[in-house]
Amino acid sequence: MPLVTTKEMLKKAQAERYAVGAFNANNLEYVQAIIEAAEEEKAPVILQASQGAIKYAGLKMVVAMVKAAAEDATVPVALHLDHGTDYKQNVKCLAAGFTSLMFDGSSLPFEENVAITKKIVEMAHAAGIPVEAELGKVATAGHVTEEEIKALMTDPEEAKRFVEETGVDSLAVAVGSVHKMTTQAARLDVERIERIRELTGVPLVLHGASGVTDEGYRTGIAAGICKINIATELNKAFTRGIREALEKKPDEIDPRRIVGVGRDYMKEAVKAKMRLFGCSGKA
Ligand code: G3H
Ligand code: ZN
């Protein structure tokens, strides 16, 4: 089917208390693994491209690959911009065919984050496309201490003001998770998630979710998380498959027999996350 937006997808997840998996795609094998997993799990799915992925694969190529795969799929697929850092990037992705946008102004002062988010929301809504924004800051592993993670967390009262002033459709919250963690060891501040949900009412987004425990997914979703972002776990599965294939057959020279194993491993990783997020069978 044609690409859908994340608007209805996340509203349904919010009403039925599960989370839609949002998986970062960097090349053809990611797109195939994620959509095949969604088909097999009968799950709605969000494929997202970061600015780095767009630079790597090319904007037109990202849209063409995801559109082609979605058209052959029987489950709803959305294409989302992950961590767009400026207005222009959002416009470019909207024009290219993305069905969901993100502005990440988490490094900016509150008022500046509000002003740019609001401008992007007005522009995107005119085209019927929803926008995610970030308040507080989800840090990156290796660069932060526990105290810093705490200090960067989303303030619930500020979140209320932010959502009211910007009209944003969903909110990425800093609640204890950290980007690029390679083990599941982050602890979520579940009470904070609940408070933000009560005050804002919008679907909440969990970034840095590769490092969150399975129990964290469960309690986070119960508290108000409706979209869960996974990138690192897919990278790990993909490269593990490639390494194992090369170790098994060091003389193999057909890349499909090497990269294809990575794709299979990645698909299994996506399916496992979908089951934990409760979105399996929700398409
Ligand atoms: O925006 C992407 C996600 O937040 C990725 O998080 O590094 O834990 O997979 P991750
Ligand atoms: Zn993120």
**Ligand 1 centroid to residue 171 C-alpha, Å:** 15
Which amino acid would we find at residue 202? V
Ligand 1 atom with the smallest distance to the CA of 138 is 4
Other beta carbons less than 10 A from residue 36's beta carbon: 18
- What does the DSSP assignment read for 172-184? EE-SS--BT-SSS
Considering only CA atoms, give the Rg of the chain.
18
pLDDT along the chain (283 residues), means of 10: 97 98 98 98 98 98 98 98 98 98 98 98 98 97 91 98 98 98 97 98 98 98 98 98 98 98 98 98 98
User: Cα separation of 3 and 13, whole Å?
Assistant: 18
> For residue 38, what pLDDT is reported?
98
86 catalytic residue (yes or no): no
Q: Look at ligand 1, atom 6, and give the residue with the nearest C-alpha.
A: 208
Neighbouring residues of 27: CB distance < 8 A, sequence distance ≥ 6: 56, 57
CB 121 within 8 A of CB 167: yes
- Ligand 1 site-directed mutation target among 230, 234, 277, most atoms within 8 Å of CB: 230
Q: Which of the residues 82, 104, 169, 189 is marked catalytic?
A: 82
CB 200 within 8 A of CB 171: yes
User: Cα separation of 231 and 208, whole Å?
Assistant: 8
Question: Which residue reads 């972002």 in tokens?
Answer: 229
Taking alpha carbons only, the member of 133, 101, 130 closest to residue 117 is 133
> Strands across the sheet with 204-206, in order?
77-82, 45-50, 20-24, 225-230, 204-206, 170-173, 131-135, 101-103
**Ligand 2 centroid to residue 153 C-alpha, Å:** 14
User: Cα separation of 85 and 72, whole Å?
Assistant: 31
Domains defined along the chain, listed by start: 7-235+269-277 (3.20.20.70)
Predicted structure pTM score: 0.98
Q: Using alpha carbons, list the distances in angstroms from residue 116 to 85, 103, 131, 159, 282.
A: 10, 8, 12, 15, 34
The ligand minimizing its distance to the Cα of 228 is: 1
Looking at residue 154, what DSSP letter applies?
P
> For residue 137, what pLDDT is reported?
97
> For residue 143, what pLDDT is reported?
74
Question: Which residue reads 């959502």 in tokens?
Answer: 163
The ligand minimizing its distance to the Cα of 140 is: 1
Which amino acid would we find at residue 237? A
Residue 61 bridge partners (DSSP): none
For ligand 1, residues with CB inside 6 Å are 24, 82-83, 179-181, 207-211, 229-233
